Amino acid sequence: MNLFWYIILTLGIIAGIVNLGIAMARRKQPVVALVRVLAGCVSLLAVAGVLIGKSVRISHPFLHPQDVIIGAGVFIFAVLFLPSYFERSRSGATGTTMQQRAARPANATVRLRDANSDEWVN
């Protein structure tokens, strides 16, 4: 195996570890955790497929290096970007936007300096 395949395998293993780690962190959101677990399993299965294919020396008749690079890009997109997009779309359903949270800070208090005055203190 040349250096290219080691890089592809390393990226697949890292993607699997990242997705499974995020799934463990998001256990309280079952749908997001399920999507992350599926993405992690897909990436680890792809790594296993490459290892088995290389160890048995299966050669593909029309697969060229540029096809493998394109496939690796699609693979990285599918297992890293799509679950995070799904997670953002699920968390955006809460209703408050970033502008709404910035407009009303959680620790802001307004007090009157004197009981008989209209002067405000932050």
Strands (E), 1-122: 111-112, 120-121
Phi, psi of 84 (to 5 degrees): -70, -35
How many Cα atoms occupy the beta-carbon half-sphere of 96 within 13 Å? 7
* Spans of all domains in the chain: 3-121
- pTM, entire model: 0.59
Q: What is the pLDDT of residues 2-59, one digit of tens each?
A: 788 888 889 889 989 998 999 999 888 888 888 889 888 988 888 888 888 778 777 7
Q: What is the pLDDT of residues 92-112, one digit of tens each?
A: 555 667 777 676 666 666 555
Phi, psi of 57 (to 5 degrees): 65, 50
For residues 98 and 114, give the distance between their C-alpha atoms in angstroms, rounded to a whole number. 35
Phi, psi of 121 (to 5 degrees): -130, 135
